[in-house]
Structure 1
Amino acid sequence: GETADSRAVLVEVKKRGYKALTMTNVPGSTLSREANETMLLHAGPEIAVASTKAYTAQIAVLAILAYDIARANGKALPFELMPELARVATIMDSVMSQKELFEELAERYLKTTPNTFFIGRGLDASVCLEGALKVKEISYIQAEGYPGGELKHGSIALIEDGTPVIALISQPKTNLNIRGNVKEVVARGANACILSMQGVEHEDDAFTLPHVEPLLAPLVTVLPVQLMAYYAALGRGCDVDKPRNLAKSVTVE
């Protein structure tokens, strides 16, 4: 709630006469004080510079807000949100209890590499950006997240023998497309790691997550990539809690 460029946007929004809602994990933060309304995440203190639980809490709160707006506008909703979020929370606990598997994946794919790529489509592409950011922030590996459909528009030229490519597959409608992208990078020498969800999994995938409502999948799919970044950092001797050159809040524009 202290980021300078976000505050600049808030100032402009209010100047134009619009109401503003701040979603923050910190009561009394600058953005909270200056907005018309505040919605707290209640994720608890986030000590590390690289945000994790505040990230997932924000997705959950945004889902609740979007669901209530849709219901208020008379939209037909395909599932009951709160029971599904309860399932998601249970599955998140289950995934975290298997964290040693992600330590092994980080050892296999990330420990010694100078660079890596995350690819996905739809909502998975957004989670790939988070995975790449976490890898960059705490393990100092050059990492990029790409929508699978953009691979042929230049980024595939960076694939070399042994380049790790982490692929996320949770959305049934993009399953075949992203697996086609994986085949393309493997044909060029990539070392591919597929993280999938039940319902779209293949037997040779590195890890399969329990199935959740596809619209809420980012709450679950983000955990493997965050854990892999964490264990990659530990394996490379990096300080996970205090990554170099980074601050908790960017207070200048």
Structure 2
Amino acid sequence: MRWSREAATLHAFYSNLAIEVERRANDLDSICQNQLENEKKILQLKDEILFVAAHELRSPVSAIKWGLTTLLEDKEFNTHISTNLKGILKQVYTHNEQLGNLVSQLLNIARIEQGVLSIKTERVYVSHSIREVFDEIKHLAEEHNIHLINKVENPPPLLADPTLVKEILINLITNAIRYNVPDGSVTITERHTDALVVINVTDTGQGIPRDQLSDVFQKFYKITQKRTLGKEKSVGLGLYITKELVTRMGGTIRAISEPGKGSTFTFTLPRDRQHT
């Protein structure tokens, strides 16, 4: 009889314990869910703040660029200012360009992470895109005495967003210039298959250590001990954005490198299959 009472007491104890454990587990689960929701809200708020800040910066940066360009190209104005003042204006223009590039990168990251990046695919002739990009950044190559070599002739057209294709090329070629060596070169080559066009951007620069190759496309990643020809400092966004743009248009990107000899970044994008 005594054992029956003790068994009943023990059973009741464990039953109550099981109920209490389940209640505490449910409470803990609820707390975790609330924390996750709060983290999601915080991340969303961060992205929204980033987007608004970058968007609001774009207009003044553009206005400053327009004003400086007008002054620097005005022959009469230039005859009345000293060489020192003209040099200061050019420095302001250069720093404003760097700020503009950063604003563009921040806007792209915000669009990518909010899932609102607009991609409008159409037929793109990449040879035209490369020539346009070379024209836009030739001043940077000349400034650092880097030779731009275009070996792309007439590949089949891509099915991609022309604006994003240009941004991919600008990011890769600009990096190849900045991380090159004096009197170096950047060479663009191409090959294609029935389904893809493959573009190679090869430089004669410092190269990337093998143990860092897998990390170069990570957000905010900077290669250690890598020097630029200019004074610009990377924030580690360009290659991350480039990979996102390539991937979202159905392509792939990879890098191969040998320290002291240079690097090759290779990306693929789908061909326009309606073109024969």
TM-score, shorter chain, exceeding 0.5: no
Higher helix share: 2
Bigger relative contact order, structure 1 or 2 (CA pairs below 8 A, ≥6 apart): 1
User: What is the TM-score normalised by the length of structure 2?
Assistant: 0.23
Larger Rg: 1 or 2? 2
